[in-house]
């Protein structure tokens, strides 16, 4: 049985069950990698599309840390990549970029934090609104 294309009844803490989510992110990235996008354009795509794809699954399930790291690395590689496959040193670390704009970041956010906050909102809502079930 599946829900949102993820297998139910299995151990959703196992990364293998989340390969579909990672594949969806990779599939979205594929055509964009061939396009000459500015850093601003890449930032918009990361925030609008790549950050929202896993959210549908995180409404119901807690994302394993390995999956969160893989998605984070896909975003990071897409943002910094200029078509050259060399290891580089960047002036700003990824943690700083993910911070909110109020904290001088670019507001991408960490996938782990978004998953926990989403589940916490559901728990609070079910506790406060008895008709929400």
Query: What pLDDT, in 10s, does the model give residues 24-54?
Result: 889 988 898 888 899 999 999 988 888 777 7
State percent of the chain over pLDDT 70: 80
pLDDT of residue 125: 81
- Residue 7 φ then ψ, to 5°: -70, 130
pLDDT of residue 102: 92
Q: What pTM was estimated for this model as a whole?
A: 0.74
Detail the DSSP E strand segments found in 48-87. none
Q: Which residues of 16-39 are buried (b: 16+ CB within 10 A; e: fewer)?
A: ebbeebbebbeeebeeeeeeeeee
Mean pLDDT, residues 96-110 taken together: 88
Mean pLDDT of the chain: 80
* 40 vs 87: CA distance, rounded Å: 22
Between 29 and 15, name the one with better pLDDT: 29
Mean pLDDT, residues 107-117 taken together: 78
Number of domains in the chain: 1
State percent of the chain over pLDDT 90: 8
Instruction: Note down the domain range covering 116.
Output: 2-132
Mean pLDDT, residues 12-24 taken together: 79
pLDDT of residue 3: 63
Query: Is 58's pLDDT higher than 70?
Result: yes
């Amino acid at each position: 049985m599946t829900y949102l294309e993820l297998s139910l009844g299995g151990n959703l803490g196992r990364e293998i069950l989340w390969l579909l989510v990672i594949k969806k992110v990779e599939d979205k990235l594929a055509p964009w990698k061939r396009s000459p996008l500015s850093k601003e354009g890449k930032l918009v795509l990361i925030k609008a599309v790549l950050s929202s794809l896993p959210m549908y699954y995180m409404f119901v399930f807690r994302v394993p840390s390995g999956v969160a790291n893989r998605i984070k690395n896909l975003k990071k590689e897409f943002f910094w990549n200029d078509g050259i496959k060399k290891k580089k040193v960047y002036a700003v670390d990824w943690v700083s970029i993910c911070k909110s704009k109020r904290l001088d970041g670019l507001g991408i956010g960490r996938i782990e934090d978004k998953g926990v906050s989403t589940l916490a909102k559901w728990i609070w809502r079910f506790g406060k609104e008895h008709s929400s079930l």
